[in-house]
Structure 1
Amino acid sequence: MRRKRRGASALTDDLSENYAKAYGHKAGFGKRPALILIDFAHAYFDPDCDLYAGVDAALASALRVREAAHAAHVPVVLTEVTYQKGGRNGGRFFEKAMPLKAFVKGERTAAFADGLVPREDEIIVSKQYPSAFFGTSLASTLTAGGHDSVILTGLTTSGCVRASCVDAMSHGFTTIVVADACGDRHPAPHEANLFDMNAKYADVVSETEILAYLKTLSASRAEARA
């Protein structure tokens, strides 16, 4: 007898249960992570900018995770989007997404957000496209440093965080996304993309979970030096 095909509404009645059947696996944490803060630019915090997203809580969370990473001697990478005047080096991305004009070099909106001042021991990666890995030396830098995993925070969840997540996994890094330290201009794309990344590409964790993990790294490294 031919099985009756379930309708789309039936498949989405309990999305978590449906996905758990195929995508319930957790990859876990790596042994030598690097923390990446993706595109925390002033543009997302300026109400007069088209990119304004009201994501102060995400930045505050990312800064707390950053402090914990430094305490655990985990390297920190900051990414920035930067374009030449006119966006010539932005290609089709600059052509398509009009708000990217906020990232032209020299614009106040292109600067790091207030409260995020790069430190001398932090790596800054400049990029023109969504992923922190595309067209940059990030993967090579992390591989040369012996890192097996990345912890992602940043803006926006549905854009550059997601693109970086997929590329991190594709480059062979165990990938962790800190939900509290990511933000978007609307809850719907934020939650949808966290859900999908957690299902297929990364483990999505809370700030509390990542801080606990970094604390264990700090403790184990302290023991090793004793």
Structure 2
Amino acid sequence: MTESQAASNYAGVFGNRIGFGKSPALLLIDFVQAYFDPDCPLFADVDDALASAIRVRDAARAAGVPIIYTNVVYHPSMVDGGRFKQKTPLLEVFKAGSPMGAWPQGLEPNADELVISKQYPSAFFGTSLAATLTAMGVDTVLLTGLSTSGCVRATCVDTSSHGFIPIVIADACGDRHQAPHEANLFDMDAKYADVVREAEALDYLAGLKG
């Protein structure tokens, strides 16, 4: 099936737009050193995604929008890695204390910004994220992070499942190959989220000031 055939197959069935809500939070998913160190098996060419995420983060700070970061942290024994670790043994780079779990330059959280540590792809699974967002009165989650086909997608689906509006910022997401990156952006936009460009997200955040 060609790209145009795929698009026409979705037309009129998927792709409805939700739109931005009134009370957003920004989620920065797994922007950690493992993806930026060429010697790490998780290395990916995602510098542009990080740069975009930092610009969005700075705009969210200026607008007073809650900012939440996620990382992946395992017990040194990997006993909490479960089937995910069994399927993907290289997750051992995220054992507690590993330098691969450090924040890349420019993304260090402020003291008043929340960090949620997880063991599985979705930022919601086994964490307090849904309860935290609900308590904050959040209706919209701006999604950025790594990787598009993995933890971003899993979190996007759960964002929708928990009743929040998922807005995926395409420029601020990255993957280790362009094909799964683009395919998952297409599918998330069709079924679960509104996928937007950085400029649209920045305009939205600027409109929230004051």
Question: Is the TM value for this pair above 0.5?
Answer: yes
Task: Tell me if 1:129 matches 2:120.
Answer: yes
The match for 1:181 among 172, 182, 198 is 172
Amino acid at match of 1:53: A
The match for 1:203 among 184, 194, 203 is 194
- Separation of aligned partners in 2, 1:106 and 1:75: 27
Q: Secondary structure at the match of 2:81?
A: helix
Alpha-carbon offset, residue 111 of structure 1: 1.2
Task: Tell me if 1:119 matches 2:110.
Answer: yes
Alpha-carbon offset, residue 88 of structure 1: 0.7
The match for 2:61 among 66, 70, 81 is 70
Name 1:172's counterpart in structure 2.
Answer: 163
Name 1:40's counterpart in structure 2.
Answer: 31
Alpha-carbon offset, residue 101 of structure 1: 0.9
CA RMSD of aligned residues (A): 1.1
Greater CA drift, 105-114 or 149-158: 105-114
Instruction: List alignment gaps of at least 5 residues for structure 1.
Output: 1-8
CA contact (8 A) 2:15 2:191 kept: no
Name 2:9's counterpart in structure 1.
Answer: 18
Alpha-carbon offset, residue 24 of structure 1: 2.7
After superposing on structure 2, the runs of 4+ consecutive aligned residues of structure 1 that deviate more than 3 Å are none
Name 1:3's counterpart in structure 2.
Answer: none
Q: Secondary structure at the match of 2:189?
A: helix
- Separation of aligned partners in 1, 2:4 and 2:14: 17
Alpha-carbon offset, residue 159 of structure 1: 0.2
- Separation of aligned partners in 2, 1:208 and 1:202: 17
Deviations 1:78-99 (A, max 9, x none): 0010001131111111111122
The match for 2:88 among 97, 117, 127 is 97
Q: Structure 2 length normalisation: TM-score?
A: 0.97
Deviations 1:120-172 (A, max 9, x none): 12111010000000000000000011111100000000000000000000000
Q: Secondary structure at the match of 1:22?
A: coil
CA contact (8 A) 2:142 2:167 kept: yes
Alpha-carbon offset, residue 13 of structure 1: 4.3
Q: More helix per residue: 1 or 2?
A: 1
Alpha-carbon offset, residue 16 of structure 1: 2.0
Q: Secondary structure at the match of 1:23?
A: coil
- Separation of aligned partners in 2, 1:29 and 1:153: 15
- Separation of aligned partners in 2, 1:193 and 1:185: 13
Instruction: List alignment gaps of at least 5 residues for structure 2.
Output: none
Deviations 1:36-63 (A, max 9, x none): 0000010000101110001000000000
Greater CA drift, 166-175 or 87-96: 87-96
Q: Secondary structure at the match of 2:68?
A: strand
- Separation of aligned partners in 2, 1:79 and 1:86: 21
Task: Tell me if 1:212 matches 2:203.
Answer: yes
Q: Secondary structure at the match of 1:180?
A: strand
| Larger Cα-atom Rg | 1
- Separation of aligned partners in 1, 2:206 and 2:6: 33
Alpha-carbon offset, residue 112 of structure 1: 1.5
